[in-house]
Amino acid sequence: MVAQMEFWLYLYFPQLQLDKLLLQHATTQALDKDQLDLTAPLAIVGADHQLLQLNTAARQAGLTLGMGLASAAALCHQLQLVPHQAEQEQQQLEQLAQLLYQYCADIALQPDSGLLLKLSPMLALYGGALQFWQQLQQVLQQAGYQYHFATAQQPLVARLLAQQGWDQFLLQSDKIQQQLKALPLQQAQLPDKLQEQFQRLGLIRLGDLLHIPQAELVRRFGMDMLQYLQQLTGAKPALLQFIQPAEQFEQQLELLYEMERSDQLLGPLQHLFSLLQLYLQQRDQLAYQLELCLLQRQEQQQQLQLHSAQGEYQSKEWLKLCALQLERLKLKKPVIQLQLTLKRAGPRYAQYKTLFAGKQQLYSALQLVSLLQARLGKEQVKSPCLHNDLLPEQASHYAAALEPQAAIAGHLAAIRPAFLVNPPLALDPDQQQQLQLHCGPERLSSGWWQQQSQHRDYYVGQNAQGQWLWLFRDLQQPEQLYLQGYFS
């Protein structure tokens, strides 16, 4: 019966900006002279010079929310002030919504630092309300933000109870209505003019208002009161716009203070790479190329191109590659903001291994190449590849690691040694007498188109020590035998 009813969960985050400061502080190193001391009293101040968010030290000093700036400064001389950044909080709220999207399909952003989740479709999927709520709690705890919550059949009711700090996950309508009626009218989010009228009439709680016939309320207080009651009772559905997964990953992070050393950036970068991991997990993708932009003073910037030959989705692997590049980077100016953009991604199925693939090493070949490129530079890591030339000493060269090479038809079918002698070694007559030729000749002619004509007859032979050799005679000196390579 309960599972068929429509229920909503409201998550209210009362101090997003302050919590983000605390989270960034936990990942940075020791305090610098320009860094905020978050153990001392600190407040987030709105444009109207009122305190909006307070840390523990500020509350212990006697400061309260809504207090004016002058009164707060007089009460606490050591108070640190940070301007409220509404756009930053909106970005944090969107990130939280994307984080929860993999657990709940219907999430709507609310203008007062809240998220509204539609519970009804998810309860059957998770096997019950308790299992679903436990999963959400685990995710919210890892996010590190303080929050209040409440459930109700109407979005407005869940919002009012969450902002009151009810913190109850219940699907019993009678208990929810009982708590709603006990809500003080001052917390019912009604206009100040109506609040004054209710106070003169002696109405204190929302339950007192709901006892009055609806027609009488509308007659005395107008159509705004009617719309409010319709949302409260569910007679009028709420107009909600549910979020959709982000189409492109591009995240910015403003730093707590200017960072002059590249190693200081690793702490804030952990947050950005964790958001990238969530984005890739939701789409079952791997990232192959990222762009990290370091925004600096005077509108200057430095960019890093991060590459993974194998493709990675885990934040720890990308942080490792980024740390190697930061070791070689010299900052031109202090960094004030980070911006991470996903440039190239692909499906994750290419990385899946078979059940009987055998024991895996610590790093795959592609991961090792990526680490070497990040440490030494992409242009410093090369790999041998085949060249379309019949002469052995010219049949290979070095190119950029993992660079696609054209296949050389027929080359692998011939017998070739594992180790070449370059330049070829001329054997003296005694050495030639000790050789036994077993295979050959195989004539190779090359270089005639470059006026460097070479004509050789190749043999496979064995010396007195039992070593298998690759030998040749130059047609211009048929009596001389040369050692070209050793078979492994």
Residue 388, pLDDT score: 58
* Residue 444 or 41, more confident: 41
Distance CA 338, CA 480 (A): 67
Residue 3, pLDDT score: 41
Q: Are 140 and 147 in contact (CB under 8 A)?
A: yes
- Averaged pLDDT, 482-486: 93
- Encoding tokens for residue 94? 């969107």
Is the pLDDT confidence value at 411 over 50? no
Is the pLDDT confidence value at 34 over 80? no
Helical packing angle, 16-27 and 86-101, nearest 10°: 80
Residue 225, pLDDT score: 84
Closest CA to 374 of 314, 317, 305, 324: 324
Largest CA distance in the chain: 123
- Averaged pLDDT, 115-140: 88
CATH of domain 250-350+362-376: 3.30.1490.100
DSSP structural state of residue 388: S
pLDDT tens digits, one per residue of 78-108: 999 999 999 989 989 998 998 898 889 899 9
Pairing of strands 477-486, 396-400: unpaired
Residue 386, pLDDT score: 67
Run of H or E residues at 193: helix 192-200
Q: Are 418 and 412 in contact (CB under 8 A)?
A: no
- Encoding tokens for residue 418? 């594992």
pLDDT band at 362 (very low <50, low <70, confident <90, very high): low
Number of other residues whose CB lies within 10 A of the CB of residue 398: 9
* Residue 373 or 432, more confident: 432
Please list, in sequence order, all residues whose beta carbon lies within 8 angstroms of the beta carbon of residue 481, skipping any fewer than 6 positions away: 426, 427, 432, 435, 471, 472, 473
pLDDT band at 68 (very low <50, low <70, confident <90, very high): very high
Phi, psi of 198 (to 5 degrees): -65, -40
Domain boundaries, the chain: 2-85+96-163, 182-233, 250-350+362-376, 412-486
184 beta partners: 205
pLDDT band at 2 (very low <50, low <70, confident <90, very high): very low
Pairing of strands 250-259, 148-152: unpaired
Residue 349, pLDDT score: 67
**Residue appearing with tokens 């370091």:** 294
* DSSP-based three-state secondary structure for 93: helix
SS (H, E, C) 216-264: HHHHHHCHHHHHHHHHHHCCCCCCCCECCCCCCCEEEEEEEEEECCHHH
Is the pLDDT confidence value at 408 over 50? no
pLDDT tens digits, one per residue of 165-197: 999 999 899 999 999 999 999 888 888 888 888
In this chain, the answer to whether the domains covering 2-85+96-163 and 250-350+362-376 adopt an identical fold is no
Strands of the sheet with 335-347, listed across from one edge: 250-259, 335-347, 285-296, 301-312
Count CA within 13 A, CB hemisphere, residue 124.
8
* Class of residue 322 by CB neighbours under 10 A (exposed 0-12, middle 13-18, buried 19+): buried
pLDDT band at 247 (very low <50, low <70, confident <90, very high): confident
Q: How many percent of the chain have pLDDT more than 70?
A: 88
Compute the residue count for the chain. 488
Residue 359, pLDDT score: 52
Residue 126, pLDDT score: 85
Is the pLDDT confidence value at 415 over 80? no
pLDDT band at 410 (very low <50, low <70, confident <90, very high): very low
Residue 328, pLDDT score: 87
CA distances from 252 to 56, 269, 294, 317 (A): 28, 10, 10, 20
Closest CA to 318 of 277, 359, 267, 356: 277
The CATH architecture of the domain made up of 2-85+96-163 is 3-Layer(aba) Sandwich (3.40)
Phi, psi of 95 (to 5 degrees): -65, -40
Residue 1, pLDDT score: 36
Run of H or E residues at 101: helix 86-101
Torsion of CA 37, 41, 44, 50, to 10 degrees: -150
Number of other residues whose CB lies within 10 A of the CB of residue 143: 17
Residue 218, pLDDT score: 84
CA distances from 208 to 5, 181, 308 (A): 27, 8, 64
Helical packing angle, 223-233 and 214-221, nearest 10°: 140
The mean pLDDT of the chain is 84
Pairing of strands 42-45, 80-83: parallel
- Averaged pLDDT, 205-230: 86
pLDDT band at 31 (very low <50, low <70, confident <90, very high): very low
- Encoding tokens for residue 52? 């909006």
Residue 413, pLDDT score: 46
Q: Are 246 and 308 in contact (CB under 8 A)?
A: no
